[in-house]
Homo-oligomer: A and B are copies of this chain.
Amino acid sequence: MRALADSAQAPFSLPDEVLQALRRRFGARCSTALAQRELHGRDESPFDVAPPDAVVFAESNEEVAFVLQLAQQHRVPVIPYGTGTSLEGHLLAVQGGISLDLSRMKSILQLHSEDLTVTVQAGVTRQQLNQEIRHSGLFFPIDPGADASLGGMAATRASGTNAVRYGTMRENVLGLTVLTASGEQIRTGSRARKSSAGYDLTRLFVGSEGTLGVITELTLRLYPLPEAVSAAICFFPSIDAAVQTTIAIIQMGIPIARCELLDAHAVRAVNAHDHLGLRESPMLLMEFHGSAASVAEQAQSVQALAAEQGGEAFEWASTPEARTRLWTARHHAYLSALQTRPGCRCVTTDTCVPISRLAESINESVREVEATDLPYFIVGHVGDGNFHMGYLIDPQQPAERELAERLSAQMVARALRLGGTCTGEHGIGLHKQGFLLDEAGPGAVALMRSIKAALDPAQIMNPGKIFAS
């Protein structure tokens, strides 16, 4: 992390002309206060803060265009900002510039419940969306854990717990309003469910991490709230047994809606934090959506598969309250784990492999970390072959950080050998640029760079991310 710390110290500053223009247009919504800048120069990663030179709170497409045109003219970096919950250093202003905060663009613009679509501004968070559309009987399923903004979720191609059934942001964004690097407003996609009209600009901007333009509006697919929902937890004698159960569920094509793994460390942490009294062994947390009959049938099939692997102590929850209690374990895992080691920070990994290689991938990673003294925990969207290992490091101990990075590099190398990816859902940011090169190869990365150069010739959009500048 030394290079990053260095660049965070580098003396950036906005041209005075730019700052004056921002102040004239935005007044108090343009801030250079250190506290604001530091808040906007970090994310949930363990990287040191790299504050932008100014923070601007935009409230309309026109304001976003204004900032981009000004930045373009003066070659100033612009970093789109949602809720600050990304995990790979995406928001750090490693070359200074303007943090363009979109959190005030939080209107739901058009709900078309009869078409199962909604158009929202980029600052709307997923919880706000589901709250506001509750009356329609519809919901938006993508749940990355954090109450992230939908613009940010699109920018990092987020997924999370429901992806095994409903897909990721890739599958659930129908269209976008984007302000290009030059400040031109374009629209990608229509409200139709499918289209073959030209290049797939929607999917190009989904996952582009703010490096190609600013997403300001999104048209999303919604789903009818299932007639019946049932959640269950089940405990296993080993991680391997839990993973083998998952593999069988996926291979049989059971349309499970959520299939989450917590290892014993994660369960212990949430027990301590929330007094849940769960058995401290590897656990699958599952959810089934559908008609009452279909949910019952899925649950029965899964229980049989789990039993073959020694899964037991099934606990079922069909009421919303009972489900919330079970899901508390999953949703609090990260924060609870952080509290098991006061003052620690978490280095989180994010590999995703073909489902048949998941056991090998997790077992080897466990073996490697167990050979050290580093505290860790595992949570995983295992139905997708995606899991996170969190290494709890003391930020004052460079050796611990190096160890975590070495273990993480070994995990990624293994995932790539097994046909997987270096990141299932967190993105590249600052942290995985080398891994991207390993995974995609120099030819594909060169092609990505040529797209970046074509769409952002002045290199103002979140520079230094995805590719080293």
Q: Is A109 an interface residue (CB 8 A)?
A: no
- Residues of chain B lying within 8 A (CB to CB) of residue A187: 440-441, 444
Count chain B CB atoms within 10 A of each CB in A199, A201, A424 and give the residue with the most: A199
Instruction: Pick the residue among B115, B425, B455 that contacts A355 (CB under 8 A).
Output: B115
Q: Is A428 an interface residue (CB 8 A)?
A: yes
Q: Is A448 an interface residue (CB 8 A)?
A: yes
Interface size class of A (residues with CB under 8 A): 35 or more
- Residues of chain B lying within 8 A (CB to CB) of residue A188: 440, 444
A208 touches B199 (CB 8 A): yes
Q: Is A354 an interface residue (CB 8 A)?
A: yes
- Residues of chain B lying within 8 A (CB to CB) of residue A357: 115
Distance in angstroms from A243 CB to nearest chain B CB is 13
Give the docked Cα–Cα distance between A195 and B436 (Å). Answer: 11
Instruction: Pick the residue among B114, B192, B250, B290 that contacts A424 (CB under 8 A).
Output: B192
Give the docked Cα–Cα distance between A90 and B345 (Å). Answer: 54
Q: Could you list 27 examples of A-B contacts with CB < 8 Å?
A: A112-B354, A114-B247, A114-B251, A115-B419, A116-B250, A157-B195, A187-B440, A187-B441, A190-B421, A192-B353, A192-B384, A192-B385, A192-B415, A192-B424, A195-B421, A195-B423, A196-B350, A196-B423, A196-B428, A198-B445, A199-B204, A226-B253, A291-B294, A293-B294, A294-B294, A450-B455, A451-B451
Interface residues of A (CB under 8 A from B): 112, 114-117, 156-159, 163, 167-168, 170-171, 180, 184-188, 190-201, 203-204, 206-208, 212, 223-224, 226, 247, 250-253, 255, 290-291, 293-294, 297, 350, 352-357, 384-386, 415-416, 419-428, 432, 435-436, 439-441, 443-445, 447-448, 450-455, 466
